[in-house]
Structure 1
Amino acid sequence: MSHSPIRADFDQYMVPNYAPADYIPVRGVGSRVWDQAGKEFVDFAGGIAVNSLGHAHPALVKALTEQAQKVWHVSNSLTNEPALRLAKKLVEATFADRVFFCNSGAEANEAAFKLARRWAIETVGADKHEIIATTNSFHGRTFFTVTVGGQPKYSDGFGPRPQGITHIAYNDIEALKAAISDKTAAVVIEPVQGEGGVLPAQAAYLKAARELCDQHKALLVFDEVQTGVGRSGSLYAYQEYGVTPDILTSAKSLGGGFPIGAMLTTEAIARHFAVGTHGSTYGGNPLACAVAEAVIDTVNTPAVLAGVKAKHDRFASALNALSAETGVFSEVRGMGLLIGAVLSDKYKGRAKDFMTAAAREGVMVLQAGPDVVRFAPSLVIEDTDIDEGMARFARAVRAVAAA
């Protein structure tokens, strides 16, 4: 007799590094999701900024099922058509000349940091290996990326960390000037800090970072795992700022829910990853690349990108009105469809309470630290879904505020 999975199975069979909600989604269409009991949710979470085209988007279903009838996987001693098509489209749409495919944002950042150090050591020498990152940043969960990430709670307790990594305040030009030197291999920045509270970079800060990296012959690395593939209202957020990095990392929205990551860079830098220096067994998987190509084809259009900005305004207007009514939020910030509602002093530390209350009302939201409620919905979410989801979220906010 087959066993129908229930939430308690997680506690019995899974490693306890997550604390999932008490419901299990089983079906999704567009920006609506249903759980095992048939309860409907409006999805403002997007799988943490992953489901760029919502659930079961016809273009992605078609790409996946067609590729599934052809070839699922080949080794890295071969290449494949979907990977080559996707790489070409990414190069043509960005500053990059070369692409490396992997499975996640953490892997993309791992590759970026390794490449930056390899480039620096081979072009200058062993002393040029230092990496500068920012406090409250997040770059993944491998030991290297979690150490570069500026949140010690994620890297503490695992023994000696990789060395040569410095953390400075985000958006602080003077701190960057004081930290950077000719020993710096790379400066790593999220154009919008996601896990750190949905905090956008100031344009002057990114421009100064570019100039300082050029002065010290260091690489500028933009982690666009969360901001990339249309979420900012441009294909990549660096295009919004007009500041071009040397290396860019992408994942999350790139696969629309199918695991894929990518590192983009120039030809001169890419050549330092010679044959055998780095790899990924599943990187460039034909299924993943076929889906990601469909994502790029769908998202990278004037209509969709303009729609992201219009939908941002619709969210922000509703959140600001709710804030004026309840006093729960002190600020609504972000870029495109990566939005953070910052809790006012009275409600500091209670982001999870609002997330839990929202689920009770039938809307899925996120938190970005304890003080920010985060929204990262489908880039093509219907206005009717925004309005219905915000009505549900408003009920949740009022309930928490009245408690």
Structure 2
Amino acid sequence: MKFKTVRLLLLLSSSLFFYGLIFTASAQTDDNQFIFGDALPDAPELSARGTYKVGVRTLEFVNKGQIDILKRKDNIDPVYDRPLKVEVWYPAILPDGAKELVTYDQVMGAANNPQRPLIPYTFQGRASRDAAPLTAEGAFPLIVVSHGYLGSRLLLTYLTENLASKGYIVVAIDHTESTYRDAGGFPSTLLNRPKDILFILNQIADLGKTKSKNFLSGIVDAENTALIGYSMGGYGVLNVAGAGYSQTLLSTFESLTSGSKAVEVRTTNHPDFKASYDPRIKAVVAFAPWGMQRGTWDAEGLKGLKVPVFFVAGSQDDVSGYADGIKAIYSGAVNSDRYLLTYINARHNVAPNPPPYQALKPGLPLQEYYHYAEPAWNEKKINNINQHFVTAFLGIHLKKKDFGKFLELNENSNDKNWTGFKPRSSVGMELLHAVPQK
């Protein structure tokens, strides 16, 4: 009996040591570790990294004279200079022997929330910090990325790095008062999300002009722009692309802000909204866009969405809703050439990086893990599939690539293996397609 007990303890100790090595390896920073966005063995065809080396830089901007909705008092909307930090990924030139490896600084938790204290951590990416930009090939299409609430500009690095490696300038925004580090009241996100996106688009377009002295000079084709948004980022990019907010959203905003009408300028029939339509925007990717369940859009507002849109959703989304949420937006956008990719049984986290290993530590609130993880899906697999479909969709609309076969698929992935997917790997998904009404 003692022999069996000792043997069991030895086996248990060996197993713990083995899994400890795996866990420790996930925290290392060598080139051989799995980094967010790397291809799994069953990754679909277009998820593969592109041919360009990737540089990354951080830029800071200030949008002057903006309404400070969180300090509204006595029926007056004060103004402030609104800071915005962005991360820019771009095709780059790397010296011989230079590593395409970067360390990102991030936090878990939520500012001003004692139940979710901020926990700093770092993770690795496949880009080179401050690398020289590739200027010999001219300008690259622009992609502006907007995160969720709460989130950060580093929430989708698996996708932003991947797209830059395929010849895009990718700019992800830290939306002030909507990040982990500076979480503020929700009215700021409702008001500022579309305004931030437009402001940054214009700033990057200016820096990309050939006479600018910025590293982006001459390499940004802002006339050929796509928007990517996740959750509240989806709320923002759809509005910027033409889906005007409803009077219900205006009423909700007024009730949250003691009567402020500041968001009215983004409603469907407001003249300022109509004047803000931007023909530079050629396509939109909306991951789990928030708002339809709350009446953010009505039929008239969704008719204003005329650019091609690729929606991504989980069929069990319990934040944005599915049938009466994301799928309802897809159905109502009758003037758009649109797709809806659904991960069956997934909830809301169909866009972010996988959980960092720090989120696996015992004692942390489950919310920190489930801020990234999907209960029914491998998040790394979702990331690879997203890379594949976003590459196909944006390749068609921004680069005129012949990627149609990757989108012309049978509706249910279980019925027949989808083009571009390895045998037996395209299961548990649905892809819908609708063309603009005549």
Higher helix share: 1
- Whether the TM-score (by the shorter chain) exceeds 0.5 is no
Greater relative CO, 1 or 2 (CA 8 Å, sep 6+): 1
Q: Which has the higher strand share?
A: 2
Larger Rg: 2
Q: TM-score, normalised by structure 1?
A: 0.29
TM-score by length of 2: 0.27
